[in-house]
Amino acid sequence: MPYSEYRPDLMGTATLLPTGAFEAGSYQSFTLTYVAGRFGLDDTGSLKIAFRFASDLGGLQFEDPQAPGYTTIEASNGAVLETKWEFKRNIRPWSKSLYIGVKKHFLAEGDTITIRFGDNRQGSPGLRLQTFCETCFEFKVFVDAIATYDYVALPTSPSISIVPGPPETWKAYLPTLVTIDSPFRLSIKADDKWGNPSNLIDRTLKLECSEEIAGLPATVLFRKGQFACIVEQLKLEKPGDVTIRILDETGIELACSNPLRAVENTQLVHFWGDLHGQSCETLGTNSAEEYFTFGRDRAFLDVCSHQGNDFQITAEFWTELNQITQRLNQPGRYVCFPGYEWSANTAVGGDRNIFYRSEGRPIFRSSHAQVAELNDESNDAHNAHDLFDALSHEDVVMYAHCGGRYADITYAHDGRLETSIEIHSAWGTFEWLLHDAFKNDFRIGIVANSDGHKGRVGASHPGASFFGAYGGLTCFLAAELSREAIFEAQRRRHHYATTGTRLYLTTTADLPDGSRVYDRDPKLFDKAKSTCALQAIMGDIVKLSKDRVEFSFEVFGSAPIESIEIRNGLEVINTIRPYQRAIPGHRIRVVYQGAEYRGRARAVLWDGTATITGNNIERAQQFNNWNKDRGLTLKSKNNLAWSAVTTGNFGGFDLWIENKTAGSLVLETNHVKAEIDIVDIGFDPREFSAGGLGKAIKIYRLPDEMTTRHVQHTQTVDISPQEDTRLFVCITQEDGHQAWSSPIYLFR
């Protein structure tokens, strides 16, 4: 379903050469031979060789025999063929397809069509494979033998395996908050150039730490065939902040871990999760089993869930998903939630993530669009209002999010169930969802996930496609690693979101006597319980007796901190920049940002040049560029060119110039043209708007070198007498990563 199932055994066969395992992102040449079956292939009949929606396989072309992707097609009997490479003209998930139509004549049984993908006989480097790994990458063959345009999938399609390349980028992970004497682990991996964990490593690594960590060896052996090296049963015996450096045999640093804070005691510790992605059974890559084990063993997640599109989840797959989460859920080690994505059109509410606390619960689909079995169609919830009604009796937590479709929380929202909104994923950054919530006085938390389709939950590189951002993560503040504790953290909005980095963050509000903190929103729950408290944390809802509080935050970044905005809802009430602003240096930052609009075609392609007149560029460096097909080229001492894509997020580059004040900077892009004298570029951004949804160029100074990763600040905030005061922070690091705390909601 929904392809025809009529006699696939009579539709022919297909073979592929060569076969085996091939490196992700490499250039290869393949020959696929289709042999017509009993019916032959009629005049105006056709084939489709299809690939998954998620694949970033290089495009096919038929004109330039020396360029990448050159593809040739010929029929053994001389039939005239028509060919098209179509990006989204086939039924999902097989969206990308090569169409081969019989334009003149026909094929009889035994006649062949030979397709040479990446035909290198005349100089083409070949076809570039997708940039992420897949156990079974199919060349899915569909046949319209009788010229009805009703395609039948062959019983067996050719396939290859796509595997990682050599290591390029090393990474090390620690938890961000533990209690002293509690065991924790250090996880080390090395990604290939496309972000796939590599198993082509065989070396000894040195480990260094400024503080003594019980159980930390001086060296570890990373063996070939392993995708990760994990050091278990580490302990800190006194409070403090630590990072661990990973060095090669000669002492050169390969990676530095994220920061870890150890405290004597705390009610809540930190657990990292990515709860939003899918596998090949719907629109993603690799199996659901592989999806969850990647999250546990290669992304080092504490919490995970699967979010397949509901209109593709069969009853059989729903049962399988529940069996997987039940089997892999391991309290204290790895928490897995059963769940799905309610994938309705935006007109009736848009995308929602649904998480159950236990297995065996019903699935309320937005439709049965690609599910043939209709025996449970009576459960369908065709709009968000119906969905909230259906789930009102379930033990469930929901998020609103923006993927292909976007959630319209102004159309429908139930804060009893929908506790948070997802404002970052591999699809981009969507703070406008947060603005919708504040404008409607919703009390919601902030989360980020990957919404990944490439089989890399928790470490979701966007690859070489139109995805323009690295997938996000959520840090849950919970008493323990269990379904019950994580659900309570979700319901109380005790969590913060990042664009995929792991930094330490805490926000608090010191409260006057008589303040009460609620366990549930008293506007929505008649029996919401409250306790007297002198301090609130992120996500709390607080009733105050007085009209001001002391709001504090502390952040220990995974990279130097560029800025921290303290926000009250839609208002930025203070911006902290932890560096001296008195004397401009040699460094200029150029930022490009934004989206075209809220829907699917939101991606903004930034192609541009930067020219320095009356001065020279000493060096330049791009940040937040996740696509290896794009990048920055320094053409001369006065000129550079770049290409990038944004989807609501931002990227940019830094220029270190020879003279601090001389000359001017001229930017030429496909959206913005700007010229500014170097002397007029200061630490406060100059913005050049380009319309759309926050499309803009920003230009400002940064210190030549930045080192501050730890920032604390306290601010007195007046409380509104009529409406909620919603206090949270947005952190931006030098490397382009961001983080958002869930708001503290305070009312009189």
Express each pLDDT in 328-368 by its tens digit: 999 999 999 999 999 999 999 999 999 999 999 999 999 99
Q: Is residue 183 part of a domain?
A: yes
- In a shared domain, residues 568 and 650: no
Beta bridge partners of 516: 532, 543
| pLDDT, position 404 | 87
Task: Output the pLDDT for position 357.
Answer: 97
> Of the residues 454, 489, 524, which one is the last residue of a structural domain?
489
Per-residue pLDDT band at 83 (split at 50, 70, 90): very high
Q: Do 19 and 157 reside in the same domain of the chain?
A: yes
Question: Cα separations (Å) of 424 from 438, 460, 469, 476, 498?
Answer: 17, 12, 9, 16, 8
Strand pairing report for 604-613 and 639-646: antiparallel
pLDDT of residue 627: 84
**Range 8-37 average pLDDT:** 98
SS (H, E, C) 224-289: CCCCCEEEEEEECCCCEEECEEEECCCCCEEEECCCEEEECCCCCEEEEEECCECCCCCCCCCCHH
Q: Are residues 464 and 610 in the same domain?
A: no
pLDDT in tens, 453-468: 999 999 999 988 777 8
pTM for the full predicted model? 0.97
Q: What is the mean pLDDT of residues 468-489?
A: 97
Tell me: do 477 and 347 sit in the same domain: yes
| Whole-angstrom distance, CA of residue 130 vs CA of residue 69 | 12
Query: Buried b vs exposed e over 452-485: b needs ≥16 C-beta within 10 Å?
Result: bbbbbbbbbbbbbbbbbbbbbbbbbbbeebbbeb
Domain boundary among 431, 459, 489: 489
- The residue segments making up the domain with residue 692 are 587-702
Contact indicator for 741, 507 with CB cutoff of 8 Å: yes
Cα–Cα distance for residue pair 652/632, rounded to 1 Å: 10
Domain boundary among 109, 137, 163: 163
Per the omega criterion (within 30 degrees of 0), is the bond before 2 cis?
A: yes
698 shares its domain with 711: no
Q: Is residue 335 part of a domain?
A: yes
Together in a domain, 333 and 409:
yes
Does any domain span residue 496? no
- Packing angle, helices 288-297 and 315-328, rounded to 10: 30
Number of domains in the chain: 5
Residue 2 lies in a domain: no
What pLDDT, on a 0 to 100 scale, did the predictor assign at position 113? 98
**Is residue 389 in a domain?**
yes
8 A C-beta contact, residue 616 and residue 637? yes
Determine the average pLDDT of the residues in 137-151: 97
Tokens of 184: 């924790």
Tell me the sheet residues that pair with 191: 169, 197
| pLDDT surpasses 80 at 19 | yes
Is there a single domain that holds both residue 281 and residue 426?
A: yes
pLDDT bin (cut points 50, 70, 90) of residue 522 is: very high
Pairing, β 244-247 against β 203-209 = antiparallel
Whether 1 shows a pLDDT value over 80: the answer reads no
b/e map of 301-316 (b: 16 or more CB within 10 Å)? bbbbbbbbbbbbbbee
Contact 594, 469 (CB under 8 A): no
Angle at 265 between CA 260 and CA 267, to 5 degrees: 95
* Domain CATH for 215: 2.60.40.10
Determine the Cα–Cα distance for residues 172 and 157; give it in Å rounded to an integer.
Answer: 39
> Which helix (DSSP H) or strand (DSSP E) does residue 203 occupy?
strand 203-209
Residue 116 within any structural domain of the chain: yes
Q: Are residues 547 and 625 in the same domain?
A: no
pLDDT at 2 over 80: no
User: Residue 259: is its pLDDT beyond 90?
Assistant: yes
Same domain, 421 and 336: yes
pLDDT for residue 629: 86
| Number of other residues whose CB lies within 10 A of the CB of residue 97 | 23
51 Cβ partners below 8 Å, 6+ apart?
57, 94, 95, 96, 97, 138, 139, 140
Answer whether residue 428 is part of any domain.
yes
- pLDDT tens string 544-589: 989 999 999 999 999 999 999 999 999 999 999 999 888 889 999 9
How far apart (Å, rounded) are the C-alpha atoms in residues 543 and 455? 44
Average pLDDT over the chain reads: 96
Quick check: 524 pLDDT over 90? yes
What pLDDT, on the 0 to 100 scale, is given for residue 3?
87
- Indicate if 383 and 506 belong to the same structural domain: no
Do 654 and 726 lie in a common domain?
Answer: no
Mean pLDDT for 476-482 is 98
Tens-digit pLDDT profile for residues 283-316: 999 999 999 999 999 999 999 999 999 999 999 9
Quick one: pLDDT at residue 88? 83
Quote the DSSP letter at residue 60: P
Query: Do 683 and 598 belong to one domain?
Result: yes
Q: Average of pLDDT values for 462-475? A: 88
* Separation CA 286–CA 280 (nearest Å): 5
Within a domain: 619 = yes
Cα 449–Cα 451–Cα 454 angle in degrees, nearest 5:
120
Mean pLDDT over residues 642-670, rounded?
96
* Residue range 204-245, pLDDT digits in tens: 999 999 889 999 999 999 999 999 999 999 999 999 999 999
Residue 92 has pLDDT above 80, yes or no: yes
Give the amino acid at 486.
I
Mean pLDDT on 107-129: 98
Q: How does pLDDT run across 409-420, given as a tens digit for each residue?
A: 999 999 999 999
